Amino acid sequence: MIFRAPLSLPAARYRAHRARIDEAVANVFHSGRFILGDQTAAFENEFAAFVGTAQCIGVASGTDALELCLRACDLGPGDAVLTVAHTAVATVAAIERAGATPVLVDVDSSTFTMEPNRLLDTIQEYDHCTRTAKLPKLKAIIPVHLYGHPADMPSILSIARARRLQVIEDCAQSHGASLRDRLTGSWGNLAAFSFYPTKNLGAFGDGGAVVTNNPRLAENVRALREYGWRTTRYVSELRGINSRLDELQAATLRVLLPGLAKENSERRKLAGDYGRLLATTSLTLPQAGTNVLHAFHQYVIRSPARDALRQFLEVRGIATQVHYPVPIHRQPAYRQRLFIARAGLPNTEVAARQVLSLPMSPYLKQEQVRQICSVIREALEGS
Ligand SMILES: *Cc1c(COP(=O)(O)O)cnc(C)c1O
């Protein structure tokens, strides 16, 4: 059997929508307008309608979107933000770029999203430490809907309300995922999306967006993304930055957005195939919680023999990934200096050792999934 590696997701998407993407891109070139024109404005309206929020502001990346969410809430030096260590480094980098201090919470071992009980413990322990030391004040929570699985928003929101904390959703991996029929991005005070090319909704370059129902926060993000200009050009009312979704990216995102739901259902179909074909193995398979519509940004299995399995697949031409091999608090740039509870982050540590992302793309063929699963079975039988 010869496994043929699938085309990269952005390339497959381009081929699937080539005529309309070429036309959209040519139209932008002919318009002569490349920054904050009609395409960005139209995409912002369409994406807000998709998520179910009043407002969407296009920005240059998902990392910028997170930073601008925090800054729109006036969070920065002297403030602390709770998030997870099992995530893309961007989540924590954005908190520090806003000038705030990250506080790390462990994840649930089955959904890999923030565990609400650990969130409570961490808040209590942090409070306790503030009695004897002067620490930044807890102001916000950033749950990450990792791999396309929504975090437990009802529990997180009730903790946030009791403690008057802002909630900013990291939706970089969860475009179209929902919980109780409500899309990720519509639960928190604000939410940040990334349109990095490999995301569930991906541009052909960098891009991101902030969504919110709060008009004041939306206005702050709009000003902050362009030098702090509010009503008058060249008059900075806030200390803003330059972070704009450009017209070429917005135009291609408008071509791809109507197909997002179908791409996500293809992902769920392939996840169902993986689930059936690997059901009787020793692997721990991903599961959607109750009332969850999983977006399967990644299909992540767990195995204590992860590295050997990965190697076996690699030799046979099947490329897998590890998201993420090193938790944030063990990365060279962050270790020894971030607040974590005394109990540590045990689920995060185990996840880093055991997770393996199998090939997942709406353009993957069912036949390819069958081949991948038969190689995995071969690997497990031989071990
Ligand atoms: C991709 C990603 C980001 C950052 O998005 P960029 O557009 O690459 O800046 C943030 N958080 C998570 C969980 C991500 O996967």
80: β partners: 101, 138
Q: Ligand 1 centre from 367 Cα, in Å?
A: 30
On the question of pLDDT at 69 being above 70, the answer is yes
Average pLDDT over residues 114-134: 96
Q: Ligand 1 pocket check: which of 9, 63, 300 to mutate, most ligand atoms within 8 Å of Cβ? A: 63
The tens digit of pLDDT for each residue in 175-189 reads 999 999 999 999 999
* Cα-based angle 281, 285, 286 (whole degrees, multiple of 5): 170
Q: What are the C-alpha distances in Å from 177 to residues 147, 297, 303?
A: 10, 9, 25
Q: Ligand 1 centre from 47 Cα, in Å?
A: 18
Cα separation of 60 and 245, whole Å? 5
Average pLDDT over residues 359-375: 97
Cα separation of 48 and 254, whole Å? 12
Q: Tell me, what's the pLDDT at 279?
A: 96
Q: Ligand 1 pocket check: which of 81, 87, 146, 170 to mutate, most ligand atoms within 8 Å of Cβ? A: 170
CA proximity to 24, closest of 9, 7, 40, 45: 40
Q: Ligand 1 centre from 158 Cα, in Å?
A: 26
Q: Tell me, what's the pLDDT at 333?
A: 96
On the question of pLDDT at 363 being above 80, the answer is yes
Average pLDDT over residues 78-86: 98
Do 100 and 80 form a contact (C-beta atoms < 8 A)? yes
Atom of ligand 1 nearest to the CA of 94: 10
Atom of ligand 1 nearest to the CA of 90: 10
Average model confidence (pLDDT) for the chain?
97
Do 138 and 263 form a contact (C-beta atoms < 8 A)? no
Cis peptide before 274 (omega within 30 of 0): no
Q: Tell me, what's the pLDDT at 132?
A: 93
Q: Ligand 1 centre from 8 Cα, in Å?
A: 18
On the question of pLDDT at 1 being above 70, the answer is no
Q: Tell me, what's the pLDDT at 67?
A: 98
Q: Tell me, what's the pLDDT at 383?
A: 63
Query: CB-based contacts of 265: which residues, under 8 Å, 6+ apart?
Result: none
Atom of ligand 1 nearest to the CA of 145: 13
CB atoms within 10 A of CB 203: 23
On the question of pLDDT at 275 being above 90, the answer is yes
The tens digit of pLDDT for each residue in 17-58 reads 999 999 999 999 999 999 999 999 999 999 999 999 999 999
Report how far Cα 287 is from the mean position of its chain's Cα atoms: 18
Q: Ligand 1 centre from 191 Cα, in Å?
A: 12
Average pLDDT over residues 71-75: 98
pLDDT band at 7 (very low <50, low <70, confident <90, very high): confident
- Please give the structure tokens belonging to residue 203: 């541009």
Output the ligand 1 site: residues, CB below 6 A: 61-63, 87-88, 90-91, 144, 170, 172-173, 194, 196, 206, 208
Q: Ligand 1 pocket check: which of 66, 112, 173 to mutate, most ligand atoms within 8 Å of Cβ? A: 173
pLDDT band at 5 (very low <50, low <70, confident <90, very high): confident
Q: What percentage of the chain has pLDDT greater than the value 70?
A: 99
Q: Tell me, what's the pLDDT at 134?
A: 93
Q: Ligand 1 centre from 347 Cα, in Å?
A: 22
Average pLDDT over residues 351-370: 97
On the question of pLDDT at 238 being above 70, the answer is yes
Cα separation of 87 and 13, whole Å? 26
Q: Ligand 1 centre from 377 Cα, in Å?
A: 33
Q: Ligand 1 pocket check: which of 89, 91, 144 to mutate, most ligand atoms within 8 Å of Cβ? A: 91
Q: Tell me, what's the pLDDT at 4?
A: 78
Atom of ligand 1 nearest to the CA of 206: 7
The tens digit of pLDDT for each residue in 368-378 reads 999 999 999 99
Q: Tell me, what's the pLDDT at 2?
A: 67
Which residue has a Cα nearest atom 1 of ligand 1? 172
CA atoms within 13 A on the CB side of 106: 19
Q: Is 252 exposed, middle or buried (0-12, 13-18, 19+ CB in 10 A)?
A: buried
Q: What percentage of the chain has pLDDT greater than the value 90?
A: 97
On the question of pLDDT at 3 being above 90, the answer is no
Q: Ligand 1 centre from 90 Cα, in Å?
A: 6
